[in-house]
Structure 1
Amino acid sequence: MIYYFKTITKGVYACIGLFAILSISCKNTENGEANNANKPSLNSFIAQTYKENLINCAAYVDSIQHTQSRQELERYYLEARSLFKAAEPVLAFQDVSNYTFLNAPNILKIEEEDLTNIRLNDPKSFQTLEESIYADNLDMQTIHGAAHLITQRLKLLEKNTDLSYLKDHHILWMLRDALLRVALTGITGYDSPVLEASLSESATVYNTLKSIIIAAKPKFQDKALYDAWLNEINQTIGLLSKGEFISFDRFSFIKNHTNKQLTLFNKTVADWKVKFPFTMAINNDATSAFSNATFNTKHFTDLKNPKTGDAVVQLGQLLFNDPNLSKKGNMSCATCHHKDKAFTDGLQISRGQKRNAPTLTYAALQQKFFYDTRAGSLEGQIVAVVTNQTEFHADLDYLLEKVEQNTAYKPLFDSTYNGKITDFTIRNAIAEYIRSLSPFNSKFDNNINGLENTITDSEKLGFNIFMGKGKCATCHFPPVFNGTIPPAFNETEVELLGVPSKNDTISALVDADLGGFHLFGTAERKYFFKTPTVRNAALTAPYMHNGVYTELAEVVDFYNRGGGAGIGIDLPLQTLPPDPLQLTKKEQQAVVDFMASLTDSNFKK
């Protein structure tokens, strides 16, 4: 999530990316073919262009250190940012940690490994520069300090980058990551919180992709496929270049362009005869980001070989609904997670607990569990439920004993785990059942995938607001609409929203639950909670970790006011932008309608 100070529309951004675009396009003729007959290898071309972008970007950022003129600061920033975006496809794939450092939101970064390893890092990133340079009052110390660190990091990257290892599958992964990053974060304002330059910056990214496709022309056996790529990328660049942040139709962009590009990607895999050595978060043959075939769920578990398959899921479902696994024999997982309520319980606070029961749908597609992120896997979360005195009030030995005593389970474990009944196989089976609860078959999914044409104008408008003006998607990232950041899906964010203890906009007080603070006692983690999915939100009332809101409209109103800050709750580390979103009543209702369209079809009556 991005904390921003003000929103500015800058006409100067019409020419953002000019330097980077010219540095690439000057090497090409009008029809996209290289003038130079002695073309370098694809690896050499990518490496050379990438390093040139880093060098020139570093030069402009370095210039920021040596001026106090607002006009020059803005000019140097725009040039540097354009070059950074031109380098982004390679940098984000090649070195995700440095990319994240350079592109980090301008909020305090807290890293907690254990009680002895807690790090608080102030960001020194392009977002720091953007928010500082375009602030009402210039903080030259912050601007020059961030510029210095960014310059040094860029120079270090340029000196130590070796792309000679790149093989065809790396290049295709790089290409796919870039187009997904644009669709899922780039066009949302995620990393351009003040200027809202997301569309022109995304056009710059696509210019880099175009240059790579042109350099890769000899690899294409199917020349029509090569032409299709160029035609599609040129259309996309034109659309993004002419687009306006608030009015841009992101639904149509993803449906008609991102999905088409994923299809071209798969055709290119076949044309180049590429075999991928392994699967990352996104399945290698995915044709949409919004499908039950999109994700490799093994990416979201720390287990090397978790069991999968229908038989394991069915076993897990039986265990999930078995109250005999609790000490008193009166509680199962289903006690707090009812299927008809999208696996929530409809209560403000679950019985005997201190927080609202979150949906288990799409729970598999995250890297942290519980509102305070105290578990790192579904199997680990189940341990906490079993041992919690107000839940199962048992231990793993008791869990194992109860399953072994039920003779009906034995043949099921024989056919799934080779007869091995252990606390792990029990937990793994339950976890696999939960991992099966991500069908991606909602009305919204079916429409964006072209399977039906039933989405209403209000639902479509709501998605576009969610992804744009409302900046909802800068916390609730598509396609899961939770806090796990695409396209790598390696990190699940936590946020400080300033949730009130009561539904009160006059004399609101922050809810007393300190959230993430309870993990390691880090003061800067007070009131932080994991960002949940809004899929199936129409069925999961009440809302927020304390169930303070009973209607989705109330949740949207809370965000529209600026979160806690908008109702008088003063929390300096609030990560939600404090400025009102200025959504009209029609726009707020559209967001509610969009979220309702995310209800999975198996819950429809």
Structure 2
Amino acid sequence: MRISVIVITVTLVAILAYSIFDLRADNAAPAAAQGWFDHETDVLEQRVDALCKAIEQGQSTDKLQAAFRKARLAYKPIELLAAYYMPYTNQFINGPNIPEVEPDEKNVIIQPEGFQVLEALLFAAPVRPDTAAIRMEARRLRSSLQRLQGKAGSQPFTDAQLFDAMRQELLRIASLGLSGFDSPEAEHSLPEAAAALHGVETVWHFYTPRVQLINPALAKHTEALLHTARRELQAAPDFNALDRLRFISKYLNPLTINLKLAREALNIPYARLPHFLDPAASNAFAKGAFDPVFYAPNNARAFTAEQTALGRRLFYDPVLSYNQQRSCATCHHPAKAFTDGLRTPAALPGEALVLRNTPTLLNAALQPAQFYDMRVAYLEDQVQAVVHNKAEMHGNLEEAALRLQQEKEYRQLFREAFHIAPPEINGYRIQQAIATYIRSLVRLNSPFDAYMQGDTTQLTAAAKRGFNIFMGKAKCGTCHFMPLFNGVAPPDFARPEVEIIGVPAAKDKAMIDADSGRYGVHKIPLHRYAFKTPTLRNVALTAPYMHNGVFNTLEEVMDFYNNGGGIGMGMDLDTQTLPADSLHLSQREQQDVIAFMQALTDTTAF
């Protein structure tokens, strides 16, 4: 009887404790996170002040570098909140060291600011640091921190936002932190990733008491994962020593799953707004995690199987071309990951050559811009551009629509797809249908994906080594961002990157290809020879490579990158964004990277 009373009493106390906590659930953790963020921004400000003081005192380069490392280590724990709540200001604190230009103000260059610019100035050995430039950049960083502090209290934190921020930071660590994306010169990425993980751990601690009351095993497991993962990062002897594949699959992916479980246990809702990466997905490698219509125009976000079937039929039908002999499938073969295996596609008779290699259509929906020069945003516009291109199809969508109106089968297909009468069959409906079919070509079912979903038998030893080199020593992951391996950086997936790598006109000559790339779209000098970073998924099927198809094999591609791109070949190209230094990859290391890229080949029938 006494034991029963004790048990009942303990149970009542636990229920009462949770009830009290639940009454404050809307406020407790967010308020604690706000207080911690305010304190940590003060610490960061002190570290940056110490750096500024060291610069003013003319201290040695070694001491300046040490002060810089301490300052960014102070930034990394609050990165998850700074990037989530104040993304624009955060860009001026730790954004990429790349100038930007807006198409509508092409004469206005937005110069980069912040830690990454300072890093380039302080660690650009063997060049003597430019003290005046360092001083100016440090002052700009100090001003950006003041803006961060000023904005910090303007938007109250919520539970849902904090869970989103933690989840995003785990992906940021996996895709950017471990690759060295924001520490290319200092090579301090792993300690900084540990500091960023500490930030996630701190915010998680504000929820631990509530999670313990509901699911103590989940709370304990999450705490152990966070602690052990941070220790492993801190213990890594150097940048190339970390087994990134193991680290992501053993720690970061399970942590993301645990955040989802905790969020749902606490009844913290998900935002109803559209997301490219589903916030309710277990992690970025879960099936169906990415929304193929996120980048679609609003009138195409809801689609049907009938529209997809119509689009597929039109894709393979030469009715859209002027001579009705060429279809989309002429240059996009399913067996070659929807490419054609040619250096550049064959032009129609009497027309100029097509300048660019045929890109894959697999996962084309998972990017916010199309074509190598990113001249259109929507797949619908890509369809229109290709059909009307004189060298490719030389067609006219409205004329094709008139022909389709005369065919009984197409009248029925359009009626089923769009619920329209034959006179309403028009060029835009054709664009919509084909774009819908292309959006159905999302394929994220490679051996690498299976490994990340838990089947560790899917990768060979060479592919495992290759992933670690890809994300580490070879620096491939700093442009081809995991998990999609294209140029759209996680966790925001906001816009694709363009790079100037110095692609040659011929593989054995140090002469840049004449194609001006993105420059041809807006005539912005900064974009001359710049091209969109393409996906590497299914790259084993899409030879030849580069925008002009200059390289026939992945071995040739690896050799080009290993030697520093165009500058490494001997070109005079001061705008090259690819590091010009040799990667010093051995032949085995290059073959391992290729083995990994081959493991990005989809296993799903097309």
Alignment of 1:386-401 (within 5 A): 386-401=387-402
Letter of the aligned partner of 2:101 in structure 1? Answer: I
Q: Which of 194, 202, 211 does residue 203 from structure 1 map onto? A: 194
3-state SS in 1 of match to 2:604: helix
Q: Is 1:48 matched up with 2:49?
A: no
State the partner residue of 1:240: 233
After superposition, give the CA deviation of every residue in 1:258-277 in whole Å (9 maximum; x if it has no partner): 22122212211220112222
Alignment of 1:281-296 (within 5 A): 281-296=276-291
Percent identical pairs in the alignment equals: 36
Post-superposition shift, 1:202?
A: 1.1
State the partner residue of 2:116: 127
Q: Superposition RMSD on alpha carbons, in Å?
A: 2.0
41-50 vs 493-502, greater mean Cα deviation: 41-50
**Cα distance between partner residues in 2 of 1:169 and 1:129:** 34
Post-superposition shift, 1:418?
A: 2.3
3-state SS in 1 of match to 2:109: strand
State the partner residue of 1:579: 581
Question: Number of matched residues?
Answer: 563
**Cα distance between partner residues in 2 of 1:62 and 1:140:** 16
Post-superposition shift, 1:135?
A: 2.2
From the superposition, tell whether residues 361 and 448 of structure 1 become closer, same or farther in structure 2 (CA, over 3 Å).
same
**Cα distance between partner residues in 2 of 1:415 and 1:159:** 55
State the partner residue of 1:597: 599
Letter of the aligned partner of 1:438 in structure 2? Answer: V
Q: Is 1:438 matched up with 2:442?
A: yes
State the partner residue of 2:18: none
Post-superposition shift, 1:142?
A: 1.8
Post-superposition shift, 1:444?
A: 1.6
199-208 vs 595-604, greater mean Cα deviation: 595-604
Bigger Rg, structure 1 or 2: 2
3-state SS in 1 of match to 2:469: helix
573-582 vs 371-380, greater mean Cα deviation: 371-380
Q: Is 1:229 matched up with 2:222?
A: yes
State the partner residue of 1:219: 210
* Structure with greater contact order relative to length (CA < 8 Å, sep ≥ 6): 1
State the partner residue of 2:491: 487
Q: Is 1:499 matched up with 2:493?
A: no
**Cα distance between partner residues in 2 of 1:368 and 1:551:** 26
Post-superposition shift, 1:300?
A: 2.0
**Cα distance between partner residues in 1 of 2:313 and 2:448:** 30
Q: Return 5+ residue gaps in structure 1 as ranges.
A: 1-37
Q: Is 1:265 matched up with 2:259?
A: yes
3-state SS in 1 of match to 2:298: coil
After superposition, give the CA deviation of every residue in 1:62-119 in whole Å (9 maximum; x if it has no partner): 443423212442232122101111110001111222222322222322332x3x5553
**Cα distance between partner residues in 2 of 1:107 and 1:61:** 22
Letter of the aligned partner of 2:554 in structure 1? Answer: L
State the partner residue of 2:516: 514
Letter of the aligned partner of 2:320 in structure 1? Answer: L
Letter of the aligned partner of 1:558 in structure 2? Answer: F
**Cα distance between partner residues in 1 of 2:269 and 2:240:** 41
**Cα distance between partner residues in 2 of 1:295 and 1:167:** 24
**Cα distance between partner residues in 1 of 2:550 and 2:340:** 15
3-state SS in 1 of match to 2:108: strand
Q: Is 1:429 matched up with 2:433?
A: yes
187-196 vs 385-394, greater mean Cα deviation: 385-394
Post-superposition shift, 1:452?
A: 5.3
Q: Given that residues 325 and 402 in structure 1 are in contact (C-alpha distance below 8 angstroms), is that contact kept between their aligned partners in structure 2?
A: no
After superposition, give the CA deviation of every residue in 1:453-473 in whole Å (9 maximum; x if it has no partner): 131111111111111100001
From the superposition, tell whether residues 451 and 418 of structure 1 become closer, same or farther in structure 2 (CA, over 3 Å).
farther
Q: TM-score, normalised by structure 1?
A: 0.89
Q: TM-score, normalised by structure 2?
A: 0.89
**Cα distance between partner residues in 1 of 2:576 and 2:324:** 42
Q: Given that residues 184 and 479 in structure 1 are in contact (C-alpha distance below 8 angstroms), is that contact kept between their aligned partners in structure 2?
A: yes
**Cα distance between partner residues in 1 of 2:107 and 2:418:** 39
Alignment of 1:90-101 (within 5 A): 90-101=81-92
From the superposition, tell whether residues 380 and 67 of structure 1 become closer, same or farther in structure 2 (CA, over 3 Å).
farther
Alignment of 1:149-188 (within 5 A): 149-162=140-153, 165-188=156-179
3-state SS in 2 of match to 1:171: helix
**Cα distance between partner residues in 2 of 1:184 and 1:309:** 33
**Cα distance between partner residues in 2 of 1:399 and 1:186:** 50
From the superposition, tell whether residues 49 and 402 of structure 1 become closer, same or farther in structure 2 (CA, over 3 Å).
farther
3-state SS in 2 of match to 1:384: helix
Post-superposition shift, 1:479?
A: 1.0
State the partner residue of 2:17: none
**Cα distance between partner residues in 1 of 2:299 and 2:87:** 23
**Cα distance between partner residues in 2 of 1:299 and 1:148:** 39
Alignment of 1:12-51 (within 5 A): 41-51=28-38
Q: Given that residues 307 and 432 in structure 1 are in contact (C-alpha distance below 8 angstroms), is that contact kept between their aligned partners in structure 2?
A: no
After superposition, give the CA deviation of every residue in 1:148-179 in whole Å (9 maximum; x if it has no partner): 11111110110122365332221111111011
445-454 vs 509-518, greater mean Cα deviation: 445-454
Q: Which of 547, 567, 570 does residue 569 from structure 2 map onto? A: 567
102-111 vs 173-182, greater mean Cα deviation: 102-111
Q: Given that residues 498 and 564 in structure 1 are in contact (C-alpha distance below 8 angstroms), is that contact kept between their aligned partners in structure 2?
A: yes
State the partner residue of 1:558: 560
**Cα distance between partner residues in 1 of 2:176 and 2:444:** 19
Q: Which of 284, 293, 298 does residue 298 from structure 1 map onto? A: 293
Letter of the aligned partner of 1:484 in structure 2? Answer: V
Q: Which of 438, 446, 453 does residue 449 from structure 1 map onto? A: 453
State the partner residue of 1:373: 374
State the partner residue of 1:6: none
From the superposition, tell whether residues 309 and 291 of structure 1 become closer, same or farther in structure 2 (CA, over 3 Å).
farther
Q: Given that residues 451 and 457 in structure 2 are in contact (C-alpha distance below 8 angstroms), is that contact kept between their aligned partners in structure 1?
A: yes
**Cα distance between partner residues in 1 of 2:44 and 2:406:** 66
**Cα distance between partner residues in 1 of 2:210 and 2:106:** 48
State the partner residue of 1:356: 357
State the partner residue of 1:311: 306
**Cα distance between partner residues in 1 of 2:285 and 2:437:** 20
Q: Given that residues 292 and 439 in structure 1 are in contact (C-alpha distance below 8 angstroms), is that contact kept between their aligned partners in structure 2?
A: no
**Cα distance between partner residues in 1 of 2:406 and 2:287:** 36
Post-superposition shift, 1:291?
A: 4.0
Post-superposition shift, 1:298?
A: 2.8
After superposition, give the CA deviation of every residue in 1:533-582 in whole Å (9 maximum; x if it has no partner): 11111110000001100000000000000111111012111010000000
Q: Given that residues 55 and 155 in structure 1 are in contact (C-alpha distance below 8 angstroms), is that contact kept between their aligned partners in structure 2?
A: no
Q: Which of 542, 545, 548 does residue 544 from structure 2 map onto? A: 542
Letter of the aligned partner of 1:303 in structure 2? Answer: N
State the partner residue of 2:535: 533
State the partner residue of 1:11: none
State the partner residue of 1:28: none
3-state SS in 1 of match to 2:365: coil
From the superposition, tell whether residues 540 and 61 of structure 1 become closer, same or farther in structure 2 (CA, over 3 Å).
same
State the partner residue of 1:4: none
327-336 vs 587-596, greater mean Cα deviation: 327-336
After superposition, give the CA deviation of every residue in 1:27-53 in whole Å (9 maximum; x if it has no partner): xxxxxxxxxxx9982222212222222
**Cα distance between partner residues in 1 of 2:551 and 2:155:** 54
State the partner residue of 2:5: none
From the superposition, tell whether residues 240 and 177 of structure 1 become closer, same or farther in structure 2 (CA, over 3 Å).
same
**Cα distance between partner residues in 2 of 1:56 and 1:216:** 23
